[in-house]
């Protein structure tokens, strides 16, 4: 009897430890089988890559189209010749930094020293044109004048004016080469072009006669009688 009781006590004391030792951790996968999970993963990655490729193709097409349109617009000739009326005259013309040869310039009228000129150059957006214009302030009561019209297909495409900021001037001969060479406006060197304070009274008349009756621009100048007028084409 005593032996039986002892055996029972031992069983009660060691049974939990024995049962715990017999528990084998399960290695069975939780959730979907490995092969199915791998398949789903690869399908998801494939869809992601396909989406990225579609985005890349769209991104490549859009800038190319925009760039092509921009290039076409920039290369479009907006004027194939320029008409100028000057009191007294234009010394030199520079197109994108290069001196326009005399072979592309022609005088249409000499009016008591004032002049009307045609300049045969193709003007495009982004171009710069610089005119070195001079006037003798001792003649005709100090009157002076300079106006421009760009023309293409028998139409006026741009005019000289003082409102948009595209027309500027530089009166400093030492800094004029910088203005000629740069396609941008040079701060502290160039200033907005201004209207002459004593404009030649026949200037507008000859602009409309040679450039067209619809010319609606204005004469422009600097502050001295030897100045460089710059036009940045937009």
d(Cα 131, Cα 99) in Å, to the nearest integer? 10
At residue 26, φ and ψ (nearest 5 deg) are: -80, 135
Name the DSSP class of 100: P
Residue 201 CB partners (closer than 8 Å, separation 6+): 143
pLDDT tens profile 86-119: 999 999 999 999 999 999 999 999 999 999 999 9
Q: What whole-number percentage of the chain has pLDDT above 70?
A: 74
Question: Is pTM, for the whole model, over 0.75?
Answer: no
Nearest to 183 by CA among 135, 104, 128: 128
In this structure, the strands spanning 105-111 and 114-119 are: antiparallel
Task: Give 75's pLDDT tier (boundaries 50, 70, 90).
Answer: confident
Element (H, E) at 55: helix 34-75
d(Cα 129, Cα 226) in Å, to the nearest integer? 17
Weakest-pLDDT range from 3-17, 138-152, 205-219: 3-17
Residue 223 CB partners (closer than 8 Å, separation 6+): 169, 171, 194
Please provide the average confidence, as pLDDT, over all residues in the chain.
Answer: 84
125 neighbors 73 (Cβ within 8 angstroms):
yes
- Three-point CA angle 173, 174, 176, nearest 5°: 60
Would the CA dihedral through 84, 87, 89, 95 be positive or negative? negative
d(Cα 109, Cα 111) in Å, to the nearest integer? 6
d(Cα 49, Cα 44) in Å, to the nearest integer? 9
23-32, 55-64, 67-76, 177-186: range with highest mean pLDDT = 177-186
107 neighbors 215 (Cβ within 8 angstroms):
no
123 neighbors 82 (Cβ within 8 angstroms):
yes
Mean pLDDT of 51-69: 61
Please tell me the predicted confidence (pLDDT) of residue 52.
Answer: 77
Q: Does residue 23 surpass a pLDDT of 60?
A: no
Give DSSP secondary structure letters for 104-136. GEEEEEEETTEEEEEE---EETT-EEEEEEE--
Residue 119 CB partners (closer than 8 Å, separation 6+): 81, 82, 83, 84, 93, 100, 104, 105
């Amino acid at each position: 009897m005593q032996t039986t009781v002892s055996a029972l006590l031992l069983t009660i004391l060691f049974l939990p430890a024995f049962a715990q030792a017999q528990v084998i951790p399960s290695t069975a996968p939780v959730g979907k089988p490995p092969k199915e999970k791998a398949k789903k993963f690869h399908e998801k990655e494939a869809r992601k890559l396909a989406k990225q490729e579609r985005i890349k193709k769209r991104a490549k097409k859009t800038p190319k189209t925009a760039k092509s349109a921009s290039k076409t617009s920039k290369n479009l000739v907006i004027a194939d010749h320029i008409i100028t009326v000057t009191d007294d005259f234009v010394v030199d013309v520079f197109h994108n930094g290069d001196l326009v040869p005399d072979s592309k310039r022609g005088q249409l009228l000499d009016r008591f020293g004032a002049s009307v000129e045609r300049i045969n150059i193709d003007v495009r957006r982004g171009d710069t044109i610089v005119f070195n214009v001079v006037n003798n302030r001792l003649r005709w009561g100090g009157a002076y004048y300079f106006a421009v019209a760009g023309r293409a297909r028998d139409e006026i495409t741009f005019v000289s004016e003082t409102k948009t900021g595209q027309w500027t001037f530089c009166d400093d001969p030492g800094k004029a080469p910088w203005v000629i060479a740069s396609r941008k406006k040079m701060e502290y060197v160039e200033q907005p072009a201004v209207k002459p304070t004593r404009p030649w009274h026949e200037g507008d008349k000859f602009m409309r006669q040679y450039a067209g009756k619809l010319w609606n621009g204005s004469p422009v100048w600097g502050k001295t009688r030897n100045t460089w007028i710059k036009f940045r084409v937009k």
